[in-house]
Amino acid sequence: MTDVYTPADLPTKIQHYIDGEFVDSIDGDTFEVLNPVTNETYVHAAAGKKADIDRAVAAARRAFTEGPWPRMLPRERSRVLHRIADIVESRDARLAELESFDSGLPITQALGQARRAAENFRFFADLIVAQADDAFKVPGKQMNYVNRKPIGVAGLITPWNTPFMLESWKLGPALATGNTVVLKPAEFTPLSASLWAGIFEEAGLPQGVFNLVNGLGEDAGDALVKHPDVPLISFTGESRTGQIIFGNAAPFLKGLSMELGGKSPAVVFDDADLDTAVDACVFGVFSLNGERCTAGSRILVQRGVYDEFVERFAAIAQRVKVGHPHDPTTEVGALVHPEHYEKVMSYVEIGKTEGRLIAGGGRPDGFPTGNYVAPTAFADVAPDARIFQEEIFGPVVAITPFDTEEEALALANNTRYGLAAYIWTNDLKRAHNFAGAVEAGMVWLNSNNVRDLRTPFGGVKASGLGHEGGYRSIDFYTDQQSVHITLGAPHNPAFGKQDLDDPDPR
């Protein structure tokens, strides 16, 4: 490795943002933020605790009960969200530069995520203006309609993979519907989150509507989940953490939306367009450094094309360019943190005992330091193997053969996860029937992970609870109040109207 790139004008410290001000932690505590290329500390971030969360929630609660934001017309909030989108778009290169530096993502992929962040705000800005609430009539008797009302302070806990975009995915609908928020970004990647405050101020978001507290999950995240004045928690992260949040939120009966882990299958039948399927499977597991919830990290291939698929996949995987995150030709950069790097590398070693190594298998040549993992593929992996069953969250894939459609379905469903699935076949009947039977919240047929923001996003089994996206996000971030109006004579059964002249009303 010959160069270490550092963006210009990095902050000297990362603070919380509470009630319109950048502030340190009340106890002055900080934590180190590492450069994933060198694993050296490049900045210290304020380490939030319960007292900092209390302060942020109080500000958000005050902005909700006393401020203008929840009471603004949808069109007025929409204008602010469109200004946010405009600012994000205008700064996409800088956002991508910081995101790539902080997370190790290839710069070209980070740029795409910055542009998606702008689109998330624009989508929800349009949706709340076009939104039509339900009304139901019983002619001559009754009218019923539904009010949607913001709920209060939304607690948003976001992950370290594509952090800026995933923050926007929660911030957009939470703010569009009139809630106020406290954001707790991932401790590995707080840099890009620190930019939201300036963007929101410039766009005209009222003071106190957006608050940000950095810190460790067990401190700041835990305090946010347990805070009695935070009725909503939206979380993206590991399934085990989701279980802890579920338990901690239960005494308060909080609304929960959780997108959790995945071990998504890509199923390739022998009638598929093999060129397209191979390319899609390579991209599906190695893009974003393999650090994506919807990665197709189990590839199931029908026996008739299995050997050819494995040969082609191995050849391409060996050509995937590992490089510096800032290099526009890089396809796989550095993993986010040495702790995560060690986890992924431990699975690579496990895989060498559970499958046939056909690509990668260690640190790539030319990168003696940093969190670099060569794109790694194992063939002939048994369904009970750990690399088949457990989420690795890195550029590592297991390839397994199958003979029949029934066997493919059993293999696809044979994990605790159920986030996404990818199916490659030219048999239309098979495609639709298989999609309906696979245990996954989202299925792509002859397609890679192309999102339509109107559709539900979420998983089943250990991959999540609830859905967001489109109107599902509007549903999550609002209370739906039914109002009933009698148009005719009231239907009012009369009690206590016995004949008072009857001495024995029996």
Tell me the catalytic residues: 259, 293
Q: Which residues contact 365 (CB under 8 A, 6 or more apart)?
A: none
- Concatenating the DSSP letter of every residue in 245-287 gives HHHHHGGGT-EEEEE-----EEEE-TTS-HHHHHHHHHHHHHG
The answer to whether 373 and 348 are in contact (CB under 8 A) is yes
| C-alpha closest to that of 89 among 112, 57, 107 | 112
| Interatomic CA distance for residues 171 and 180, integer angstroms | 9
**Tokens matching residue 500:** 């008072």
| Interatomic CA distance for residues 506 and 494, integer angstroms | 17
Torsion (CA) 122, 123, 125, 128 in degrees, nearest 10: 180
The answer to whether 467 and 441 are in contact (CB under 8 A) is yes
| Interatomic CA distance for residues 222 and 230, integer angstroms | 12
- Concatenating the DSSP letter of every residue in 291-319 gives --TT---EEEEEHHHHHHHHHHHHHHHHH
Alpha-carbon distance values, 500 to 355, 492, 495, 496, 506 (Å): 88, 20, 13, 10, 12
| C-alpha closest to that of 288 among 296, 278, 298 | 296
Alpha-carbon distance values, 119 to 62, 80, 88 (Å): 29, 14, 9
The answer to whether 326 and 370 are in contact (CB under 8 A) is no
Alpha-carbon distance values, 17 to 178, 369, 374, 415 (Å): 19, 34, 38, 40
